[in-house]
Amino acid sequence: MSVDAKIEFPVIEFRSSDLERGTNGWHQLCKKVREACETFGCFEVVYDTISTEVREEMFRLMKELVEALELEMSPTLILLKTLLNLCGLKVTHAFGEDSLKMNYTMSMRMMKYMAPPPGEYETGLFAHTDKPVSTIICEDQIPGLEIEVNDGQWMKLTNLSPSSFVFMVGDPLKAWSNGRLKSTNHKVMMSGDKDRFSIAAFIMPNEGTVIKTPKELIDEEHPQLFKDFDFMKFFFFAFSDPARRIDSGQLLYEFAALSPPVSNAHMDK
């Protein structure tokens, strides 16, 4: 909806001839960009070097991938349920209570990790545990993802099949499962001479979702480790300023740890 018909949103054409530094065209372009940024803080970029066909193809493929990932997600949740049961955990009731049922949106992020200088081994993404409920990573066959298997021991995920995704448990799922599911510390390390591209699909529960450990997962042997918490509050906390000083894997404990753990926390609820 247009707010005021008299206000004209700046439209700036980026012609390749004007992109050469120091030319007249370059100076004029700089002036237009500066003015637009001063008045509006944004502007429309007309840049036809990237053809409409390439853009259309990119969005078509992205839609295809999103649909595939959405399909992938439901089997993954079923798999989780099965895994928990196979681990001997008495969770049949918990699921029959729909405790893992939630409404969520999937947000996606595309990443490009630049190849490091020759011969170097460089951090592409610092070590962290994921803050969404779970993540599915799709990479372009250039390895780089590493997971921490023991304290300080990193395992490189190489030789992933071209049709595989990597599923990561996030901190909220770890809290929900009373620590039984592990939210693995992971990072991206770059070596070699190729850039790496990846796409991550994050499961973000809707606002108001409370992460609550089902009572079936709490007993004398497995006291409740985390209090019930609002997912969004945890998410905002994890990306807040004070959280910067805290190790990523510790954030969940800082935010929601019950100290000491409680073996009958849910019993009378």
Ligand X SMILES: O=C(O)CCC(=O)C(=O)O
- Residue number, 175 or 189, with CB nearest to ligand X: 189
Q: Taking the complex as a whole, how short is the minimal distance between the CB of residue 258 and Fe ion, in angstroms?
A: 26
Q: Taking the complex as a whole, how short is the minimal distance between the CB of residue 145 and ligand X, in angstroms?
A: 4
- Residue number, 130 or 171, with CB nearest to Fe ion: 130
Length of the chain: 269
- Residue number, 43 or 197, with CB nearest to ligand X: 197
- Residue number, 139 or 216, with CB nearest to ligand X: 139
Q: Taking the complex as a whole, how short is the minimal distance between the CB of residue 186 and ligand X, in angstroms?
A: 6
Q: What are the structure tokens assigned to 82, written together?
A: 């099965």
The contact set with ligand X (CB under 6 A) reads 109, 111, 125, 130, 135, 137, 139, 145, 186, 188, 198, 200
Near Fe ion by CB under 5 A, which window of 21-29, 102-110, 114-122, 125-133? 125-133
**Residues 209, 235: Cα–Cα separation, whole Å:** 12
Q: Taking the complex as a whole, how short is the minimal distance between the CB of residue 89 and Fe ion, in angstroms?
A: 25
Near Fe ion by CB under 5 A, which window of 107-115, 128-136, 142-150, 208-216? 128-136
Q: Taking the complex as a whole, how short is the minimal distance between the CB of residue 147 and Fe ion, in angstroms?
A: 10
Q: Tell me how many residues contact Fe ion (CB under 5 A).
A: 1
**Residues 199, 229: Cα–Cα separation, whole Å:** 28
Residue 171 touches Fe ion, criterion: CB under 5 A: no
Phi, psi of 121 (to 5 degrees): -125, 110
**Residues 158, 6: Cα–Cα separation, whole Å:** 57
C-alpha dist (Å) from residue 186 to 107, 147, 167, 212: 19, 4, 12, 25
What residue spans of the chain are helical by DSSP H? 24-39, 52-86, 92-96, 171-176, 231-238, 251-256
Considering only 130, 139, 146, 216, the residue that binds Fe ion (CB under 5 A) is 130
Radius of gyration of the chain (CA): 24
Side-chain half-sphere exposure of 250, counting CA atoms within 13 A? 7
Q: Taking the complex as a whole, how short is the minimal distance between the CB of residue 76 and ligand X, in angstroms?
A: 16
Name the binder of 204 from ligand X, Fe ion, none, CB < 5-8 A by kind. none
- Residue number, 36 or 145, with CB nearest to ligand X: 145
Cβ contact 215:264 at 8 Å: no
CA nearest to 129, candidates 147, 144, 115: 147
Binding site for Fe ion (CB under 5 A): 130
